[in-house]
Amino acid sequence: MTILADLLRTIFERSEHRSNTEFDQDERSIIELCDALIATTSETSALIIANKVLTKYSNLSDEEKLSFFQNVSTRMSIDPERVREALKDYEKLPSRETYENFSNAAEPSRQELIRRLNQPPGATQKLVEMRADLLRIGKNDPGLQAFDLDIKHLFISWFNRGFLVLRPINWESPAHILEKIIAYEAVHAIDSWEELRRRLEPSDRRCFAFFHPAIPDEPLIFVEVALTSGTPSSIQALLSEDRKEVQADQIDTAVFYSISNCQAGLANVSFGNFLIKQVASDLSLELPGLTTFITLSPIPGLVKWLQKSHPDWIVDEEADLRSLVAHYLINEKSCNNLPLDPVARFHLGNGAIVEQIHADADNSENGKLQSLGCMVNYLYDLEQVTRNHEEFVSEGKVIASKEIENLAKKLVAPKNASKPR
Convert the pLDDT of each residue in 172-182 to its tens digit. 999 999 999 99
Better pLDDT: 419 or 202: 202
Q: In this structure, are strands 205-211 and 292-295 parallel, antiparallel, or unpaired?
A: unpaired
* Per-residue pLDDT at 198: 96
DSSP H or E run through 131? helix 123-137
The three-class DSSP label of residue 232 is coil
- Per DSSP, 293 falls in state E
At CB < 8 A and 24+ separation, what contacts does 47-54 make?
Answer: 47/5, 47/8, 47/9, 47/12, 47/119, 47/120, 48/8, 50/116, 50/117, 50/118, 50/119, 50/120, 50/123, 51/12, 51/23, 51/120, 52/23, 52/26, 53/117, 54/117, 54/120, 54/123, 54/126
N residues, the chain: 421
Chain CA centroid to CA 163, Å: 16
* Per-residue pLDDT at 311: 83
Q: How far apart are CA 30 and CA 32, in angstroms?
A: 5
Q: Is the confidence at residue 256, as pLDDT, over 50?
A: yes
* Per-residue pLDDT at 3: 53
- Mean pLDDT score across all residues of the chain: 91
Contact present, 392 and 318 (Cβ < 8 Å): no
**HSE-up (13 A, CA, CB side) for residue 152:** 14
* Domains of the chain, residue spans: 3-158, 162-295, 302-409
Weakest mean pLDDT among 65-74, 196-205, 312-321, 368-377 = 312-321
- Cα–Cα distance list, 334 to 265, 329, 342, 347, 396 (Å): 25, 12, 11, 16, 11
* Per-residue pLDDT at 412: 65
DSSP H or E run through 226? strand 221-228
Residue 379 forms beta bridges with which residues? 294, 353
Query: Pick the catalytic residue: 188, 347, 358, 371?
Result: 347
Question: For 3-158, CATH number?
Answer: 1.20.140.90
pLDDT classification of 318: cutoffs 50, 70, 90 = confident
Query: Pick the catalytic residue: 258, 297, 323, 371?
Result: 297
Q: Is the confidence at residue 20, as pLDDT, over 90?
A: no
394 part of the active site: no
* Per-residue pLDDT at 421: 52
CATH T-level assignment (fold) for domain 302-409: Aminopeptidase (3.40.630)
Q: Is the confidence at residue 415, as pLDDT, over 80?
A: no
The pLDDT tens digits of the residues spanning 141-171 come to 999 999 999 999 999 999 999 999 999 999 9
310 part of the active site: no
Q: Is the confidence at residue 329, as pLDDT, over 50?
A: yes
Q: Is the confidence at residue 336, as pLDDT, over 50?
A: yes
Q: Is the confidence at residue 24, as pLDDT, over 60?
A: no
* Per-residue pLDDT at 33: 97
Contact present, 355 and 334 (Cβ < 8 Å): no
Q: Is the confidence at residue 353, as pLDDT, over 90?
A: yes
Q: Is the confidence at residue 388, as pLDDT, over 90?
A: yes
Per-residue three-class SS string for 252-289: CEEEEEEEEECCHHHCCCCCHHHHHHHHHHHHHHHCCC
* Per-residue pLDDT at 155: 97
Q: Is the confidence at residue 18, as pLDDT, over 80?
A: no
Question: For 162-295, CATH number?
Answer: 3.40.630.180
Weakest mean pLDDT among 10-24, 235-249, 295-309, 370-384 = 10-24
* Per-residue pLDDT at 313: 77
Would the CATH topology of 162-295 be identical to that of 302-409? yes
The overall pTM is greater than 0.75? yes
* Per-residue pLDDT at 414: 54
- Work out the average pLDDT over 391-412: 91
Nearest Cα residue to 344 out of 286, 392, 288: 392
